[in-house]
Amino acid sequence: MAAIFSLVAASSFAEFHWFEQPIKMDASLSLLAVGDWGRKGTFNQSRVAEQMGRIGEELDIDFVISVGDNFYDTGLVDVYDKSFEQSFTNIYTAKSLQKQWYAVLGNHDYRGNAVAQLDPILREIDKRWLCMRSFMVHTDIAEFFFIDTTPFVKKYWKHPKKNHYDWRGVAPRKKYVSKVLKDLEMALSKSTSIWKVVIGHHTIRSVSEHGDTEELVDLLLPMLQEYGVDLYMNGHDHCLEHISSDDSPIEFLTTGGGSKAWRGIYNPNKVDTLRLFYDGQGFISLQLTKTDAKVVFYDVNGCILHSWNRTKGWHPYI
Ligand SMILES: *[C@@H]1O[C@H](CO)[C@@H](O)[C@H](O)[C@H]1NC(C)=O
Ligand SMILES: *[C@@H]1O[C@H](CO)[C@@H](O)[C@H](O)[C@H]1NC(C)=O
């Protein structure tokens, strides 16, 4: 069954790069997600990493997701930039974190050499690292759609002389964004997965510093709702948030607490239901089975701040 399923899937997503991620024998999976982290261990990055190691062990995680802003302040200089080891390899050293990492780019990554982070040479330095612009990870019970959200945001394209963004392979914006949306729509429309999770750096809903990202609310959210996406995970705001959509089953999860936090900005949103806003460092875990999803939010000491779960009943494809 699994083999046939992946064969069918493999031929269906020609536009997105696509990876098969094995899960546990009992058809469950667990993972951690963290964002906004690469500061050579400072601002409690190392403490968060240590707790990720402990919780990762407890949950026997299958992989890790990075929601972007991988290297501060301005991404990597090139593939030989020592920040890669100083902020990644030498920080996430726990045994349980020696798994595949799937990463997207954040706006700070675009301010350096964005192309360097995508280079397979980094995988020779640390084989856990896999960063691409937009791609998909397929498992037998869930599909993960990673979206490159930085080019969506119009303000980054203004004043190119003042602010450097590495738009190689991306410009012009309109064409790139419409291609990403078209590919995502194709992938979502063909997905028969029980759980659908979309990952991007920027917020769709947030009550902190950056608030909602208008371009994503306008262009991405309607598609996620149309195709029944269960979870949207992001960083960008350096805090932890759980917001439930009021008009669809989608849950918005902000996991931007990988290092510098405590921004002290809280702007309550008129739309949707806020379940958690924590202004400090931390990370989240996601555990999935065929029928159940569970999300847990942890602080810098690994203490549970909030948890949430959902059960799905009968599913036509299983
Ligand atoms: C790091 O975490 C400790 C323990 O919670 C806290 O006392 C300290 O203020 C944090 N440091 C930063 C820079 O956030
Ligand atoms: C799921 O959430 C409900 C409350 O909404 C709680 O009573 C239950 O214990 C949770 N189940 C798990 C497995 O965490």
Nearest of 283, 210, 290 to residue 59 by alpha carbon: 283
Rounded Cα distance between 205 and 213, Å, is: 7
Report which ligand 2 atom has the smallest distance to the Cα of 294: 14
Q: Which ligand has an atom closest to residue 238 CA?
A: 1
Q: Ligand 1 within 6 A of 42 CB?
A: no
Nearest of 136, 114, 135, 28 to residue 70 by alpha carbon: 114
pLDDT tens per residue, range 211-221:
999 999 999 99
**Confidence category of residue 111, pLDDT binned at 50, 70, 90:** very high
> Which residue of the set 138, 210, 242, 315 is catalytic?
210
Using CA of residue 220, residue 240, residue 133, residue 65, what is the dihedral sign?
Answer: negative
Q: How far is the CA of 36 from the centre of ligand 1 (A)?
A: 16
Q: Ligand 1 within 6 A of 48 CB?
A: no
Report which ligand 1 atom has the smallest distance to the Cα of 44: 1
Q: How far is the CA of 300 from the centre of ligand 1 (A)?
A: 8
Q: Ligand 2 within 6 A of 178 CB?
A: no
**Residue 210 annotated among the catalytic residues of the structure:** yes
pLDDT of residue 4: 40
Assign residue 68 a region (left: φ > 0; alpha: ψ between -120 and 50; beta: otherwise).
left
pLDDT tens per residue, range 263-312:
999 999 888 999 999 999 999 999 999 999 999 999 999 999 999 999 99
- What's the CATH superfamily of 5-311? Metallo-dependent phosphatases (3.60.21.10)
H/E stretch holding 280 reads none
pLDDT tens per residue, range 80-108:
999 999 999 999 999 999 999 999 999 99
Closest protein CA for atom 14 of ligand 1: 43
Judge contact between 51 and 283, C-beta under 8 A: yes
Q: How far is the CA of 86 from the centre of ligand 1 (A)?
A: 20
Cα distances (Å, whole numbers) of residue 189 to 148, 155, 216: 19, 30, 19
Closest protein CA for atom 3 of ligand 2: 309
Q: Ligand 2, from 30, 275, 309: best to mutate by most atoms within 8 Å of Cβ?
A: 309
- Map out the domains of the chain as residue ranges: 5-311
Q: How far is the CA of 310 from the centre of ligand 2 (A)?
A: 8
Report which ligand 2 atom has the smallest distance to the Cα of 309: 1
For residue 283, the Cα-to-chain-centroid distance in whole angstroms is 11
Q: Which ligand has an atom closest to residue 42 CA?
A: 1
pLDDT of residue 314: 59
Rounded Cα distance between 196 and 52, Å, is: 24
Rounded Cα distance between 48 and 9, Å, is: 36
Percent of the chain at pLDDT above 70? 94
pLDDT of residue 159: 83
pLDDT of residue 109: 98
pLDDT tens per residue, range 13-62:
457 899 999 999 999 999 999 999 999 999 999 999 999 999 999 999 99
Q: Ligand 2 within 6 A of 309 CB?
A: yes
Q: How far is the CA of 289 from the centre of ligand 2 (A)?
A: 14
Judge contact between 278 and 240, C-beta under 8 A: yes
Rounded Cα distance between 151 and 214, Å, is: 13
